[in-house]
Amino acid sequence: MAKPPILYSFRRCPYAMRARMAIAVSGVQTRLREVLLRDKPQSMLDASPKGTVPVLVRDDGGVIDESIDVMDWALAQNDPQGWREHRDDVLIAANDGPFKQALDHYKYPTRYDLDDIQEPRAKGLEYLMEIDRRLDGKPYLAGSAPGYTDIAIFPFVRQFSMVDSKWFAEQALTNLKPWLARLLESELFQSIMHKYPQWREGEQEADFPEAA
């Protein structure tokens, strides 16, 4: 019998979060290796030299090292909540492109030699306002329950909200804030944020998702 695939992950990485959420909802079993990005295991780098998470290594040696592709892989096998029916590639591309760039500049201004965070924060807010508009009259972008797009962008909105939580709380995002709170409090999100010890070469992996 083939062994479950290996998933290299880092708990706080938004890309890894959305991959873990898709795997968890699909119920497809993996062997999780929690890594530290400052101390990456050689086996992960051998599988994916770019050194980012998530990295999924199938039993046949195939490697998937883009988070959206990991989501697609899991949901192609089992999509019990119909997430793939609610996928907005344009909104996801805006998240992964301009919004993620604004988020990085806002969160790490010195890394980008920026003296002022106002411009990247304003650009990020524009994207959040668009999500807020799309949420008008419904709890999730997919409607009454979360879908693919909600999960694909949620970890990045979460990260943006945490840079300056006081400023974020003052913004008139009357639809987005409850949406974010619902996802943060969801059983699914809580389940994928379990703290695993750092995996080291030769150690046993954790089962993911965990057995109920």
Residue type, 155: P
Amino acid 172: pLDDT = 97
For strand 63-64 and strand 55-57, is the pairing parallel, antiparallel, or unpaired?
antiparallel
Amino acid 210: pLDDT = 87
Amino acid 51: pLDDT = 97
Is-same-fold flag (6-82+192-207; 83-189)? no
For each of the chain's 212 residues, which pLDDT tens digit applies?
689 999 999 999 999 999 999 999 999 999 999 999 999 999 999 999 999 999 999 999 999 999 999 999 999 999 999 999 999 999 999 999 999 999 999 999 999 999 999 999 999 999 999 999 999 999 999 999 999 999 999 999 999 999 999 999 999 999 999 999 999 999 999 999 999 999 999 999 999 998 65
What is the distance in angstroms between the CA of the first residue and the CA of the last residue of the chain? Answer: 23
Amino acid 11: pLDDT = 98
**83-189 belongs to CATH 1.20.1050.10:** yes
Amino acid 211: pLDDT = 67
User: Secondary structure of the chain in the HEC alphabet?
Assistant: CCCCCEEEECCCCHHHHHHHHHHHHHCCCEEEEECECCECCHHHHHHCCCCCCCEEECCCCCEECCHHHHHHHHHHHCCCCCHHHCCCHHHHHHHHHHHHHHHHHHHCHHHHCCCCCHHHHHHHHHHHHHHHHHCCCCCECCECCCCHHHHHHHHHHHHHHHHCHHHHHCCCCCCHHHHHHHHHHCHHHHHHCCCCCCCCCCCCCEEECCCC
pTM, to two decimals: 0.97
Amino acid 115: pLDDT = 92
User: Residue ranges per domain, the chain?
Assistant: 6-82+192-207, 83-189
Amino acid 30: pLDDT = 98
Considering only CA atoms, which of 7, 17, 9 is closest in space to residue 150?
17
**6-82+192-207 belongs to CATH 3.40.30.10:** yes
Amino acid 104: pLDDT = 98
Amino acid 2: pLDDT = 80
